[in-house]
Amino acid sequence: MGEKIGFIGLGEMGKWMARNILKAGFNLTVLDMNPEAVKFLTDQGAGSAATPEELAASVDWIFLSLPSTAVVEKVIFGASGIVKGAPTGTLVVDCGTTGYLPTLDFEKRLKERGVGFADAPVSGMAARAKEGTLTVIFGGNNAVFDQIKPVLDVMSNKVLHMGKAGNGQLTKLVNQLLFNVSCAAVAEMMPMSAKLGLDPEKVTEVITSGTGRSFAAEFFAPLALDGIFDKGYPLKHAYKDMVSASEISARHKIPLPMVQACTTTYQMALAEGLGDQGKGAMMKVFEKLLGVKFRRNEGTA
């Protein structure tokens, strides 16, 4: 555990990932715009830095857990960015959900500067981040994987090496798109069932136990019954998956008709001002269109 580790991005996922690295005994320096998030880690023994450049100058490996591709690029290449302070041989590991095509570009640009890069996006929500039971989807060469796997192991209970840099993000995108399509389908079907007089509670029981079940249904349908739509990753941030899919579809001439339909549902929800709510809030679009609500005691059975 002689390597010095930096961690940038202490949001709902990152703060627990960083905490688990610290608890495992690694030398950790953290950075985030939120001083309370930084204090949460420094109170437990972590060091802190004022800028990515400063952090990069004092560590060997840098883990990122950032909200968007644009933020990742700014943190790495912007003014006071990582590349300004990183010595040759520094390793950057992106654990956030970043666009696949930009990830390939970041790896190329860092390599030209003598800085290593790997992508290691995670699957799982904040509760699993806290428990250290995330799934890590790694893209990078074998030597880097073997080197940093002890760190990945303290954040997760499953680490999958998918091949070269970029493959982690590509695999994560496939997983997210399947989830997003399921969320959009639930958003359509539940209001339809209420419109035609089915009991929302009984419908929920069927779709969370029958062949129509999915993680989207299991997570969001019970919450909708109680009018709870603020759980899970905000729509405005999750939309980046749809943008990535469209870019790949256009670049590689791969038709994605289901994904495009799902993208339209996302756009409708964002146009309704639902961006700060979770993916389950897409249901509100169809509730409004049909003049119903999928809630307890709303159906006529």
* Average pLDDT of the residues of the chain: 95
So what's the pLDDT on residue 298? Answer: 63
- Give the integer Cα–Cα distance in Å for 82 and 85: 6
pLDDT tens track for 60-81: 999 999 988 999 999 999 999 9
Q: Are 18 and 7 in contact (CB under 8 A)?
A: yes
Q: What is the mean pLDDT of residues 193-215?
A: 95
So what's the pLDDT on residue 52? Answer: 97
Does residue 82 surpass a pLDDT of 60? yes
pLDDT tens track for 278-300: 999 999 999 999 999 999 976 44
5 conformational bin, left if phi > 0, alpha if psi -120 to 50, beta if neither: beta
Tell me the two tokens of residue 6: 């930096």
So what's the pLDDT on residue 191? Answer: 97
Which residue type, as a one-letter code, is found at position 54? E
So what's the pLDDT on residue 1? Answer: 62
Active site residues: 172
So what's the pLDDT on residue 301? Answer: 40
The structural domains of the chain, ordered by start, are 4-164 (3.40.50.720), 170-290 (1.10.1040.10)
pLDDT tens track for 171-186: 999 999 999 999 999 9
So what's the pLDDT on residue 126? Answer: 85
Q: What is the mean pLDDT of residues 211-236?
A: 93
So what's the pLDDT on residue 300? Answer: 46
- Give the integer Cα–Cα distance in Å for 187 and 204: 12
So what's the pLDDT on residue 189? Answer: 97
pTM of the predicted model, to two decimals? 0.88
Does residue 47 surpass a pLDDT of 70? yes
Kindly compute the dihedral angle of the four CA atoms of residues 28, 112, 95, 43, in this order, to the nearest 10 degrees: 20
